[in-house]
Amino acid sequence: MSIATRAATCTACGKRLNRKRWYYRNGHYFCTKRCWVTEQEKAAEKAAKEAAKPAPAAEASKPESAAAPEKPAASS
């Protein structure tokens, strides 16, 4: 593989990939296995934070009349 077909720097740390050894995992180039593992851990943390975030309030977009149930009229 020629150098023109791969990235010039590591995705995780930004070092140049001028050595013969480099890792290509999940569509990204890394200088060492350690950088790949670090990037995986960061992605897992980000996914956990996104999952922990509460969803945007869908009720806020509803009109107030739809949000509050109507009371039946009292017959006397």
Please report whether residue 27 resides in a domain.
yes
> C-alpha angle with apex 30: 28 to 32, nearest 5 degrees?
150
Phi, psi of 16 (to 5 degrees): -70, 145
Please report whether residue 63 resides in a domain.
no
**pLDDT band of 63, cuts 50, 70, 90:** low
Please report whether residue 68 resides in a domain.
no
Instruction: Tell me what the mean pLDDT of segment 17-27 comes to.
Output: 79
Please report whether residue 39 resides in a domain.
yes
What's the domain count of the chain? 1
The residue range of the domain holding 22 is 1-47
CA–CA separation, 56 vs 70, rounded Å? 25
- Residue 40 is predicted with a pLDDT of 93
Please report whether residue 72 resides in a domain.
no
Please report whether residue 60 resides in a domain.
no
Please report whether residue 15 resides in a domain.
yes
Between 72 and 23, residue with greater pLDDT = 23
Tokens of 7: 């990235």
Please report whether residue 19 resides in a domain.
yes
pTM: 0.55
Residues 6+ apart with CB under 8 A from 31: 10, 12, 13, 15, 17, 19, 22, 23
